[in-house]
Structure 1
Amino acid sequence: MNILISGGSGFLGSAFSDEMLKRYRTQNKDLHITWLTRDSSQVRPDNISMMTYDELARTEQSFDVILNLAGAGIADSRWSDERKKQLLASRVKPTESLLSFIERHPIKPKLLVSGSAIGWYGTQGDKSLTESSTFQTDFSHRLCEEWEQLALKATDYGVPVAIMRTGVVIHPDGGMLGKLLTPFKMGVGGQLGDGKQVMSWVSRDDWVGAAIFIIEQHLSGKNNSQQHSGSNTNDNTLKMPNDTLAAVYNLTAPNSVTNHTFTKDVGAWLHRPTFFTLPTPLLKLMFGEMSTLLIDGQKVVPQALLDAGYEFKQPTLEQALKGQVVK
C-alpha cells in the first residue's frame, strides 16, 4: 500500500506513520509512506519518503490513500484577523494541492481521509452531538466547514472521502496535555472557569487506531454495506451530488469529561495538587475570542465508530493517562 500524508511529521501524522509501519512489518505486508513537506531540507525519518509540494505537482507516482492532516494549531495563539487567515490558509493550500494532484493523475487514490475538528459543531454545551447533529455558527465551525467542503471536492473525481472530526487529543508528547505539563508539574495547574464545561477528548493511541480502522473499513468495502444498510439511526454519510461515498467520523472517546474532572485526573496522574482556578473573565481577557475553546464545552459522541465496531483501547481518561511516560 502507498500512503501520502500532508502534515506527516506532526503530532498525529508521525504517530500514525509509526503504527502503520509497525503493523505492516508484523504482517509482512508492503507499505510505503510519503510525507508532503514545504521544506526540502527536512530530515527524513527511517522508512519514510519525503516529497515537496512542487514535486507533487509533477510526480507520476500514485497513492492508494491520501491522509490530509496539514494545518496550524487552532489554539497556538490569539485569534487576530491575521491569525484567522493563517489558520484557514494552512488548511486550504495543502488541500488544494492534493485536489490538483487527484484531478490530473490518471490513477485515482482509493480514499482521501481529511482532517477536521469537533469545532465544526460550534458551542452547544452538554448536548450530545453525533455525526448527524446540526451546528452552531462561530469561527471554529466556519474554519472546519470550509476545510471539509474543499476536501469533499475529491468526490468530483470519483474519490471517496472520509472526514475525521477530532476532539482534544491526549498524549504527553504534544497537544493540549503537552502544553499543560509544565504548570501542572509545578503545582499550579487548575480548572478553567467553573470547570463544568464538557471536554470531548481522545487518546492519541485511539486516534491512530481509529484512523487505521476507518481506512481499512473503506478499502475493504465494509463501510459501504454498513452505511447503506439502514441498520442505525446515526447516518454519517454525506449526500454528494455524484453519489461518490463520503462519510464523517467523530474521533473522540466515548466518555467525555468535565474540565473539573480532567483537572483532577491529570493532577492525580502527576501526583500534584490542583488548587488553582482561572476565572472566566481572566481567560477572556488573556485569550480573547479563542477563550471559547477553554470555557465553552462540547459533548461529542463517536457514534459512527461505535456503530462500525471500533473498540476503544482507552475509553476513559484514567486509562489514557495510565502508563504514559512524562519526559
Structure 2
Amino acid sequence: MERLRIAVAGSSGLIGSALVRSLTADGHEVVRLVRRAAEGPGEVCWDPAGRSIETTAAGLTGCAAVVNLAGAGIGDRRWTPSYKRLLRDSRVLGTAALAEAVAMLPEPPRVFVSGSAIGIYGDTGDRVVDEQAPPGDGFLPSLCVEWEEAAAPAQEAGVRTVFARTGLVVARGGGAWGRLFPLFRAGLGGRLGDGRQYWSYISLHDEVAALRFLIDGDTLSGPFNLTAPEPLTNREITAAMGRVLHRPAPFAVPAPVLRAVLGEMAGDVLGSQRVVPKRLLESGFRFAFPGIEEAIRAA
C-alpha cells in the first residue's frame, strides 16, 4: 500500500479524530491542521479566516490529499444570530482558505475532500432523495450551498474535489447519538415529536471508511451522500435504541417543547430527511454496519 501524506482540518472533532486514527494505523503520514501554534512535526498552524493563505499552503506541501472537516458544532448551542454567523464562517471561510491554499501549490494534492452535510436538501418529508436532488430552503441548506461553493478555487485549479454530505453519525463520543446514549441508558429515551420524521444515519466506522474510499477513488468527484442505505423514522430508531440497550423508550418529547428549548434548530430535529447514498453504492462502496441495530452496537 502506498504511504501518503494527508492533511486533515478538524482533526480533533468526532469524525476527524477517528479518521486520523484510521489513517495513522495504516501507516500514512497525517498532518493535523491546528489553529494554535504547531507543537510538533505532525501539526501545521492555519488560519480558517484566510488571513495567512501562504503559510497554510506551505504546510500542505507534499500532501497527496487534503480533508476538510472543520466547523463549529451544529447542535452545540442554540442558533442565535451570532452563533449562526459562527456556523457559517467556520465552514465557508475555512473551506475557502484551504481551497485557495491548495490552488496556490505548484504541485497540488490529488484530491480535496470537503465536508458538507445532508442538511443541504432541507426537509424532504417521505420523499427519497439522492445526490441529484436540489438544495432545500432555510438556514442549513443555504449554509451548505455556500460551504460547497467555497471549494471553487480547488476545482478551478483542476484538483479532484469531493463533497462528503454526511448524515447523523452513530457514535458514542459526540454528535446526536452522544446525547442520546446517556438518556436511553437512564431510561429516559423516546421519540422526538411524532417520530414520523426520517433520520438518515451512518455508523462512525462507515463514515471513516467512506471518507477513505473517496480519498482513494481516483475518478470520484462531486457530491456523495454519506448515509446508510435505508433511512428510518425517528420512531423506528428510538425503538431500536431501546432494544439494543435493553431500556424501554416510553417517553416522547412534544414538538412545542423542542421548539421552546431549541429554537430554530428544532426544525432540523423535527424535519424529515430520507437521504440515500446512491453514488457511494454505485461506486462500489460496501457498508460494514448498514442496519441501525448494527450501527448502535458498533458504537
Do the two structures share a fold, i.e. TM-score over 0.5?
Answer: yes
**Match runs of 1:196-207 below 5 Å:** 196-207=196-207
**Deviation by residue 1:149-175 (Cα, 9 ceiling, x = unmatched):** 001331111111000100000011211
The 8 Å contact of residues 3 and 66 in structure 1, kept in 2 or not, is answered as: yes
Question: 108-117 or 98-107: which moved more?
Answer: 98-107
Match of 1:293 among 255, 258, 268: 268
CA apart distance, 1:58: 4.4
CA apart distance, 1:294: 1.1
The aligned residue for residue 233 of structure 1 is none
The 8 Å contact of residues 57 and 105 in structure 2, kept in 1 or not, is answered as: no
Determine the C-alpha separation between the residues in 2 that align with 1:67 and 1:117.
Answer: 15
The aligned residue for residue 139 of structure 1 is 139
Match of 1:278 among 244, 249, 253: 253
Q: Which runs of 5+ in 2 are unaligned?
A: 47-51
Q: What's the C-alpha RMSD, in Å, of the aligned pairs?
A: 1.6
The aligned residue for residue 16 of structure 2 is 13
The aligned residue for residue 224 of structure 2 is 249
Determine the C-alpha separation between the residues in 2 that align with 1:133 and 1:93.
Answer: 25
Structure 1 SS opposite 2:169: strand
Determine the C-alpha separation between the residues in 1 that align with 2:245 and 2:89.
Answer: 37
Determine the C-alpha separation between the residues in 1 that align with 2:268 and 2:281.
Answer: 26
1:316 correspondence with 2:296: no
Determine the C-alpha separation between the residues in 1 that align with 2:32 and 2:251.
Answer: 42
Identity of aligned residues (%): 37
Determine the C-alpha separation between the residues in 1 that align with 2:14 and 2:233.
Answer: 24
Structure 1 SS opposite 2:215: helix
Q: TM-score when scaled to structure 1?
A: 0.84
The 8 Å contact of residues 57 and 97 in structure 1, kept in 2 or not, is answered as: no
Question: 133-142 or 203-212: which moved more?
Answer: 133-142
CA apart distance, 1:323: 4.6
Determine the C-alpha separation between the residues in 2 that align with 1:152 and 1:317.
Answer: 35
Determine the C-alpha separation between the residues in 1 that align with 2:90 and 2:60.
Answer: 25
CA apart distance, 1:83: 0.9
The aligned residue for residue 118 of structure 1 is 118
Determine the C-alpha separation between the residues in 1 that align with 2:231 and 2:298.
Answer: 20
Determine the C-alpha separation between the residues in 2 that align with 1:99 and 1:125.
Answer: 34
**Letter matched to residue 33 of structure 1:** V
Determine the C-alpha separation between the residues in 1 that align with 2:179 and 2:144.
Answer: 23
**Match runs of 1:56-95 below 5 Å:** 56-59=56-59, 61-95=61-95
**Match runs of 1:132-211 below 5 Å:** 132-211=132-211
**Letter matched to residue 159 of structure 2:** V
Determine the C-alpha separation between the residues in 1 that align with 2:184 and 2:139.
Answer: 29
Match of 2:243 among 243, 258, 268: 268
CA apart distance, 1:63: 1.1
CA apart distance, 1:322: 2.1
The 8 Å contact of residues 69 and 114 in structure 1, kept in 2 or not, is answered as: yes
Q: Number of matched residues?
A: 289
Determine the C-alpha separation between the residues in 2 that align with 1:308 and 1:100.
Answer: 29
CA apart distance, 1:97: 2.2
Determine the C-alpha separation between the residues in 1 that align with 2:278 and 2:58.
Answer: 40
Determine the C-alpha separation between the residues in 2 that align with 1:179 and 1:58.
Answer: 39
The aligned residue for residue 258 of structure 1 is 233
Determine the C-alpha separation between the residues in 1 that align with 2:65 and 2:278.
Answer: 24
Determine the C-alpha separation between the residues in 2 that align with 1:151 and 1:274.
Answer: 42
